[in-house]
Each structure stands twice: as structure tokens, then as C-alpha cells.
Amino acid sequence: MLEAARAQVAAIVGTDPRRIVFTSGGTESNNLAIFGAITVSRRRKIISSEIEHSSILAPLAELERRGFEVVRIAPDSDGRVDPARVLDVLDSETALVTLGLANSEVGTIQDLAPLAARCTRIGALLHIDAAQAVGRIPVDVASLNCDLMTLSGHKLGAPAGIGALFVRDSARIAPTVFGGPHESGVRAGTPNLLGAVAFGAAAEAALNAMGTESERIASLAASLLMRLRDAIPGLRWNGPPVGRLPNTINLTFPGVLGESMLIALDLEGVEVSMGSACAAGAVEPSHVLRAMGRSVAEARSSLRISLGWSNMAEEIDAAASIIPAVWRRVADAEPQSEVSAR
């Protein structure tokens, strides 16, 4: 059952099942990729961006505290990281390039394929965090030619607590969890069989339905966005009009604080966030929006609305009605001096 699940997960990114290492989730996969790559290298330089998920930002901050050089590339106003800027700082001292394929907050899809050839030539590993992208857009490790790739089960409909790391056969990484020869010696510990089986089933379902499901989700998201724009004057969309995930909408609501909107919407049964899902409970302004050039006030007034396989048209109709009503109520009650000050 474990090996059948491994084959199902491998298929969604077009690789050999032997290259899939099961982990406890995307966070562990990112940590294993980063610390595992650095441990076996004598080089001290890592390249990333300013808009990565916290499970990349935090390991890099820890390595920086240990004396490693971390270069963080700034995005443009749509959240795109220019591959040419990465190539400009990529040199023989670089051990690892670690970047997300699709941003978790605004949905921008990055052009990472141009990086592989140079990384290979100079001996740096290329790690791609594809947790947000896999199952929503076609992802193929051969096309991207990456050495390491992070996958997350619950993004596809599996339970939380299961993930995977693709490890190219030529890539050397050290384990970060010790205690046994599990997962080809890369990750010790008794495998989460139920999680892996669920991950495999979700991956197979997502792969089989990807074409139609992406179109369905994109249609629902477009309908919601159009109706919210019509109902809320001054609403701002954060992210590119094209080249983004179909399910992710990030909006700046005028005249309100995002946390006030979040709480009020939660009481009405509408689930949104102020950043990635892993930022639940956080009220700090989004580091992604700040890196994209938004002001603190704009970032504090923004929310991410993320659609998934379980969402139906009826829910979009309800959200399109509830969100403007909640915005008007919060805007009327929100002290404008407090909104401006933040």
C-alpha cells in the first residue's frame, strides 16, 4: 500500500516512485531540502526570494544566524521573481537555490525553468517548493529539471500531516531526522501509512481531474472577483491577471482592517486568511504584499480568498453576497484614524 501510494504521488509530478520521500508535510519537506542540501555542501551561499513561505524563510533565517550568506531576490509589483536576477547572483559559491513555484498568498506562478541549466553547470542544487502548485497546474520535474521538489498532501485533499520531497537520483542530501533506514535512508521514522495512502488517492484524483477542475475553479474565482469588484468601490486585486493559480484571490479592502474583516467573515461562515494558511492567527502585515510594494496600511487591509475542490457555485453566490455586506458594516464601524495609522 505504501509503495502504491508512492507511485501515485510520483505520477502527479512525472517521476520515478523511487525518487519520492514521504514526510510529515510541506514544512518538513522544505526543511529537509534546505538543511539536507547545506549539510553535504562546503559552500555557504543560498539564493531565495523575499516572498517565500515561512517554512523556507525560517530555515534560511536560522542558517543566516549560523553565518551562511542568504541572498533574497525582491519581486515585482505582481509578485514575480525575475529569473535573470537570480542568475545574476548565482555563482560557484552557491550551494542551493530555493524558490516557490507558485506563491501561497497571491498565486503568482514563477518562471523557474531557466535556472536549472546554470545550477547544474556550477554544481548548485535547485529546490522548488511546489506545494501550492501541484494539482492546480501541470507540474513536471523533468521540464523544470530541479533537484528537489516539495509536495504537500492536504493541498490536494489528503489530511494534514503528510507530504513528500522529490529527490533527483543525482542529488545528495543529508537526513535531518535520524533513527532508521526508512525512506531510502533520507527520513527516519515509521511511515505514516494512512496519510500516504490518502495522499496517493488525492494525487491520483487531482491528476485525473486537473484539466476540468482548474477550469471550474477559475470560472468560480472569476465570478466571485467580478461580483466583489462591482459591489465594493476601490477594491484592489493583488497579483497578475495572467500567470497565476486559478484558485487564489488576494484583495485589498478599502477603509477597513483585514483582521476586522477576517473575524466578521468568520462569524458569517466565510473562511479567509490574511496570508498563507500557515499564517493563521497572525495579524502582522503580509511580508509578500510588503515585498510587492504595498504599504503597511494596504497590507493590513488585505485578505486571501482561496477556492478548492470542495467549493460549489452556491458557496460562491453566498460569499458574493456576504463579503460586500460585511465590508460595509465593518467600514462603517471602523475608526478611520486607526485604519490610516496602521
**What is the DSSP track for 58-95?**
HHHHHHHHTT-EEEEE---TTSPPPHHHHHHH--TTEE
Specify the residue for cell string 507540474: 139
Could you tell me if 191 and 167 lie in one domain?
yes
Q: Which three cell numbers stand for residue 275?
A: 496570508
Q: What is the helix (H) or strand (E) element at residue 247, kind and residue range? A: none
Which of 159, 175, 204 represents a domain boundary (last residue)?
Answer: 204
For residue 284, the model assigns a pLDDT of 76
Could you tell me if 171 and 34 lie in one domain?
yes
For residue 209, the model assigns a pLDDT of 95
Could you tell me if 200 and 215 lie in one domain?
no
Separation CA 69–CA 212 (nearest Å): 44
For residue 18, the model assigns a pLDDT of 97
Supply the DSSP symbol for 191. Answer: -
What phi, psi does 4 have (nearest 5°)? -65, -40
Supply the DSSP symbol for 196. Answer: H
Could you tell me if 189 and 248 lie in one domain?
no
What phi, psi does 86 have (nearest 5°)? -65, -45
Could you tell me if 215 and 190 lie in one domain?
no
Separation CA 128–CA 238 (nearest Å): 23
Cβ 127 vs Cβ 96: under 8 Å: yes
Range of the domain at 69: 2-204
**What's the burial of 34, exposed, middle or buried (CB within 10 Å: 0-12/13-18/19+)?**
buried
Supply the DSSP symbol for 270. Answer: -
pLDDT digits (tens, 9 = 90+) for 236-264: 999 999 999 999 999 999 999 999 999 99
Q: Which of 70, 71, 231, 278 is catalytic?
A: 278
| pTM, entire model | 0.94
Could you tell me if 118 and 222 lie in one domain?
no
For residue 88, the model assigns a pLDDT of 97
Q: How many residues does the chain have?
A: 342
Separation CA 290–CA 296 (nearest Å): 7
Q: Which three cell numbers stand for residue 58?
A: 525560517
For residue 211, the model assigns a pLDDT of 86
Q: What is the helix (H) or strand (E) element at residue 230, kind and residue range? A: helix 193-231
Catalytic: 119?
A: no
Could you tell me if 250 and 316 lie in one domain?
yes
Q: Which residues of the chain have pLDDT under 50?
A: 279, 337
Could you tell me if 186 and 52 lie in one domain?
yes
Which of 148, 180, 204 represents a domain boundary (last residue)?
Answer: 204
What DSSP string runs through 88-125?
Answer: HH--TTEEEEEEESB-TTT-BBP--GGGHHHHHHHT-E
What phi, psi does 132 have (nearest 5°)? -75, -25
Q: What is the CATH number of the domain that holds 308?
A: 3.90.1150.10
Give the number of other CB atoms < 10 A from CB of residue 68.
Answer: 16
For residue 338, the model assigns a pLDDT of 57
Separation CA 68–CA 221 (nearest Å): 41
